[in-house]
Amino acid sequence: MAGELSSDKIEYYYKKNRFINLLLITHKWRDLLIRKEAAFSIVLAVLSTWLVFVIYMTTATKDFSTFVSNLTLTLGVGLISILGFLVGGLAIIAGTVGSKVLYNINSEKKFDHLMSIIFSFYFGGAVTGVTLVIFIGTYLLVHTPWDISLPGVIVISIIASYFFWFVVVYSIMLLGTLLRLVIMTYRYGYDNTFPDMNEIAKQK
């Protein structure tokens, strides 16, 4: 019965394949909150916010608004490029993980680890999308007649900077994941030497 299936078998994902289901199964939300990616991102976000604070305190309001407007546009284009990289990564996975590889991994009851690796790109794309929305909102906000107080500037800067740096750090780490995935699919598909999927998943 479907209720008896575990997440280490492909059959489990016939129905449990929605974003929220996969987010909870793979625990990728931890990457955004408590893992090394989050630690790097918060440090970079604090440094970025400090620079924004200095610029805010030493620049006229109109000039600061222009600075934020140009910055969000430039970084927004960069985020779109990162989104393209994530889509390309998924395309590579789709092209390298064949039916034989899937069968061997499923036979070893390691499909949950493969799903965790693949979902990393899906999760990265979702966070990138959220970051783009934040940047678009910030861009529109600086073009309104509303005055933004210093606390508001700091809060917006912390949130926007954190998400931006998380996307950058996470995407860089996915490069290593992609390389390991290609090696793993070769080993599973050709010489029947089964790598330790737990170690591969941890290295992500």
**SS3 at position 93:** helix
- What is the separation of C-alpha 174 from the centre of its chain, rounded to a whole number of angstroms? 9
Give whichever of 17-26, 42-51, 98-107, 146-155 has the largest mean pLDDT. Answer: 42-51
Residue type, 186: Y
Instruction: Give yes or no for residue 167 having a pLDDT over 50.
Output: yes
Residue 4 has which token pair?
Answer: 């008896």
- Predicted pLDDT at 6: 67
Instruction: Give yes or no for residue 180 having a pLDDT over 70.
Output: yes
- What is the separation of C-alpha 169 from the centre of its chain, rounded to a whole number of angstroms? 9
pTM of the model: 0.81
Residue type, 202: K
Instruction: Give yes or no for residue 19 having a pLDDT over 90.
Output: no
Q: In this structure, what DSSP letter does residue 187 have?
A: I
Q: How many helices (H) and strands (E) does the chain have?
A: 8, 0
118 contacts 28 by C-beta, under 8 angstroms? no
Least confident of 19-23, 55-59, 95-99: 95-99
Q: How far is Cα 136 from Cα 130, in angstroms, rounded to an integer?
A: 10
Triad 123, 124, 127: Cα angle to 5°: 85
Burial class of residue 180 in the structure, from the number of CB atoms within 10 Å of its CB (0-12 exposed, 13-18 middle, 19+ buried): middle
- Answer with the residue of higher pLDDT: 30 or 8: 30
- Predicted pLDDT at 2: 44
Instruction: Give yes or no for residue 203 having a pLDDT over 60.
Output: no
| Average pLDDT estimate for 172-176 | 86
- Predicted pLDDT at 1: 42
